Amino acid sequence: MAVPKRRHSKTRAAKRRTHYKLTLPRPVKDEDGTWRMPHHMNTTTGEYNGREVLSK
């Protein structure tokens, strides 16, 4: 079985882990000026992808 020959230092591990970060979801502004999350329907108009999916 493959085993590391030498130990990696704390600094080297920390440098590698600096790129592990969360990305926050970016809200999208609709045509009517309201903000919503991407891939979600607009709750004020009931539209998703330009089509009405929820009647008022």
Cβ-based neighbour number of residue 47 at 10 Å: 17
Q: Is residue 16 part of a domain?
A: no
The answer to whether residue 11 is domain-embedded is: no
Tally of structural domains, the chain: 1
Asked whether residue 40 is assigned to any structural domain, the reply reads yes
What pLDDT, on the 0 to 100 scale, is given for residue 1? 87
In a domain, residue 4? The reply is: no
| pLDDT value, residue 54 | 87
Provide the domain limits for residue 56: 25-56
Q: Rounded to whole angstroms, how far apart are CA atoms 43 and 54?
A: 9
Q: Tell me the pLDDT tens digit for each residue of 1-56.
A: 899 999 999 999 999 999 999 999 999 999 889 999 999 999 888 999 888 898 86
